[in-house]
Structure 1
């Protein structure tokens, strides 16, 4: 939940309640990450994780890529005029401060570090393991899982296409239609479990304890929930975003490149409908380009111009304090397990 949704307050609340809270490092400077880790440690002494974005390769031949981005900028000129702002600079960088963030995490290690948009070099995974950090690589296919296993990842986060926000493919194919990318969580989980002998964390559309029970039964060691926690009061998501997740005005989600240039699942709003069909594969260039538009739309109270990231189960979101939500999910998990044939599970486990 990069960009502010999962900050120190939410991550600490989840960890204090018995889950494993994660601090999103994407779109932050190394200095900001360092400060947020300090704040998170001030709030809790329990284990937590940090998620990093991998640096991105060039989007293609220079002139062609620049031309595609320039055309998209021209198509967004009306949006900039409407919101009375300027478009952002698409050339602000593609590495998301990766090396600086790694330096922070190696100098002051945290319990878990996960990676999105690729697999780190084996040397990076080795260095983190050497300082006591458990490494998790997000994968969307068996081939990505095998590559992460060879690189030395300690565990994998298996992300189904139902997940909100960015699809974490390691190589984004610019020829692919964003709307048809990816496998659903349960078949993907089964395929990855057969491909590699690593602990698996299931992610994508999980909103209830019964779904956690289902992925555990399917071979996962744990479940990762994002959209379910976006509506919590501790979440840093914009109030308009939180309201939209459970509003009857938004009934569908789609994968789109409209906001960032990379497939990401969000609520279908005006911006997504109008600009998604022709947005080029150019991440994070389009993220930088549209950032002022999204900020201006939020300031104007207009969710139709915002990136409303959401998983397919968004209408099941419950606006509870994070600790209450963890407790409820845990109770639902044990109820679901108790309903199955066999011995009744003992309470007191972790969500």
Structure 2
């Protein structure tokens, strides 16, 4: 079974959810071209989610995906936050940020009952999760919307765990992928595999459909994933320059430059490893420095620095999310890109 049968879509192609870089406009354009557009909910509350789902449904009656994070929100340790601010002190001084004015608390919320209630009103075709799965009770509520359930696996062990917990499909997130790693059964980054190493392992071991994600940027990549047994593909970075995306000008400029060839996994921006184009703060502090607060508590201080540096037209502290293969990232309409990618599957 491929995604066309599972989700009643024309092309077995999911537009990866990219919180902060897109909204319903990109998702609706992909849906209109026969793919599965995604609404990222990791930075939304229930009211904002309701607005987004109403907005996409006003633009298309085709199936769509809603994506959520499943992390446990940690309690902020004042001593740990103080040490984090001390690490960032040279940047606070350079750009005039007062650490006393930085808000506390989580910048990203996990899936909860209020969001599940919104899903039951809108009934998306797919609900996908990152960082594992929610509690059984919350997962039951997500299923009550009538949606199929998918989640990201970064290792064979994670794929088997997800299958045992009842998902309808597994997203094989290769190391090449931009944005946050979906790793959830451990923190050891040496366990992480490239897409075309991970994909065949999952296809052989699982009986649910496996979706390839990471490094797929053109029709050739789509065809390669199909040849290795994928039931479909998920593509993110290639959509970041589409006019329907919300990618900011500094991020767009980086994606169009030679800098896009150099990405790294970093915990600096949120506390969890995520792939970004390397910028000044990553070079100077290292992409994985000791002392970064747990996800998502690192985000407040970085957001304050980001606001100051971006006001000066600098991307020094901006998360420039991108996968290792930005070759397909072009300023073309999302519908056109979707059809070009889908041609690889037909071939």
Q: Same fold (TM over 0.5)?
A: yes
CA distance in 2, matches of 1:225, 1:46: 19
What residue is the counterpart of 1:232 in the other structure?
242
- In structure 2, the partner of 1:23 is 39
1:89 Cα deviation after fit: 3.2
1:38 correspondence with 2:50: no
Q: 2:67 aligns with which of 28, 51, 67?
A: 51
Partner SS for 2:184: coil
TM-score (norm 2): 0.87
The 8 Å contact of residues 161 and 181 in structure 1, kept in 2 or not, is answered as no
> Residue 115 of structure 2 is aligned with which of 81, 94, 101?
101
Matches within 5 A, 1:183-332: 183-275=193-285, 276-279=287-290, 280=292, 282-332=294-344
Alignment of 1:72 with 2:84, yes or no, is yes
From 147, 152, 167, the counterpart of 1:133: 147
5+ long unaligned stretches in structure 1: 338-351
The residue aligned with 1:159 is: 173
Partner Cα distance (2:183, 2:250) in 1: 28
Per the alignment, in what secondary structure is the counterpart of residue 197 of structure 1? coil
| C-alpha displacement of 1:19 | 0.7
Per-residue CA shift, 1:272-329, capped at 9, x if unaligned?
1122242436111112331221233223211222110100002431111101111222
Q: Which runs of 5+ in 2 are unaligned?
A: 1-16
CA distance in 1, matches of 2:58, 2:234: 24
Deviation at 1:333, TM superposition (A): 4.1
Length-normalised TM-score, structure 1: 0.86
Checking the alignment, whether the CA contact within 8 Å between 1:29 and 1:97 is kept in structure 2 is: no
CA distance in 2: counterparts of 1:161 and 1:79, whole angstroms = 30
CA distance in 1, matches of 2:34, 2:260: 32
TM-fit CA distance, 1:164: 0.2
The runs of at least 4 consecutive aligned structure 1 residues that moved more than 6 Å come to none
Say what the alpha-carbon RMSD is for the aligned residues. Answer: 2.1
Q: Secondary structure at the match of 1:314?
A: coil
**Counterpart position of 2:184:** 170
Partner of 1:9: 25
Aligned to 1:150: 164
Size of the aligned set, in residue pairs, is 327
Task: Check the 8 A contact 2:219/2:345 in 1, yes or no.
Answer: yes
